[in-house]
Amino acid sequence: MFDLDRWQEIWITITHNKSRSVLTAFGVFWGMLMLVLMVGAGNALSEGISSQIEGFATNSCFFASERTTLPYKGFRKGRRWDMTNSDLPVIREKVKELQYISPVLFAGGNDKNVVRGEKNGSYLVKGCYPEYDLIEKSKMLYGRYVNDIDITEKRKVCVIGERIYEVLFQKGEDPTGKQIRVNGIYFQVIGVARSTSGVSIGANCCIANARIDALPLPFDAVVLGMGDDGHTASFFPGGDHLAEALDLHGRARVLPMHAPGAGEPRITLSLPTLLQTRALYLLVAGEKKRDLLADARLGLDAAQHYPVRAVLTQQRVPVAVYWCP
């Protein structure tokens, strides 16, 4: 029921306290505006993230072998082990909730590793099973994806990405059945795939490799530090790709690195790449690190295995060491 007296009382109160009324109205307006903006921004962020991972299994997980951290049944701590295809049936049996599983192998994307005739490029190479397409979904532009018969008969076939197709083939050309050389081995192209997701496992190293390849080497200067565990760059003791990263004859420019002391997954330039420089500096701070550096130089006890020793003992580029208290 409309009460005229009540509304008159409200109007008198508002007009007699104009400043308070204006501030109150502004506060209500500002609060509603912030609520609308925050809800809108939250929805936009949610939609943006969803569009990036669309086509990628959101309930997926990826795991890899690393060095052991504890001794086990006579085996020493720090030993290397690898998973093989024979482990797949065991994993399927032990994990009843598992729907799809695919092994994935990565090969370097450097030094123009994909070639067709006079055309070439540096790209990441992944080896996987057909079920991988159910985890990271692709849209086939030409041909088909890898199937079980390819795996059983060990066919040398490959599916290339849209970017590789643009570089190696003419626009509109059907690449299926054509041969390309990947890491020195010829493969038959059976399809061209476009990722439907902004997520790509292992893509970070591929992007980093491409950017390093585009740089005018050598570097003017490379400045390294050193950790309390003897690591430098992201060469961590116990790293899963440490040996490959320190190989002076290795061809990889960028490598992933997982290690107990790293705290999180890393990517790092390899030692041969870092040594492509006109000047190399190692900065060390504190008494503890000064003593650790001395042990690493002499190769005393455990220090002979410190990754920083590989930088100190190489003969390609002189190392200038700077220390401060």
- Position with higher pLDDT, 148 vs 204: 148
Yes or no: say if 274 and 224 are a contact pair by the CB < 8 Å rule: yes
Inform me whether the pLDDT recorded for 209 exceeds 70.
no
Q: pTM surpassing 0.85?
A: no
Inform me whether the pLDDT recorded for 1 exceeds 70.
no
The CATH fold assigned to 215-324 is: Rossmann fold (3.40.50)
pLDDT band at 53 (very low <50, low <70, confident <90, very high): low
pLDDT at 158: 94
pLDDT band at 281 (very low <50, low <70, confident <90, very high): very high
pLDDT band at 56 (very low <50, low <70, confident <90, very high): low
Q: Where are the domains of the chain?
A: 99-195, 215-324
Per residue, the 3-state secondary structure of 23-89, as one string, reads: HHHHHHHHHHHHHHHHHHHHHHHHHHHHHHHCCECCCCCCCCCCCCCCCECCECCCCCCCCCHHHHH
Inform me whether the pLDDT recorded for 66 exceeds 70.
no
What is the average pLDDT across 4-10? 72
Inform me whether the pLDDT recorded for 68 exceeds 60.
yes
pLDDT band at 19 (very low <50, low <70, confident <90, very high): confident
pLDDT tens digits, residue range 226-250? 988 889 998 998 888 888 889 988 8
What percentage of the chain carries pLDDT values higher than 90?
A: 27
Cα separation values, 274 from 35, 43, 204, 236, 318, Å: 50, 43, 18, 16, 12
The runs of H, that is alpha helices, within the chain are: 4-16, 18-53, 88-94, 148-152, 162-168, 203-214, 242-246, 271-274, 287-298, 308-313
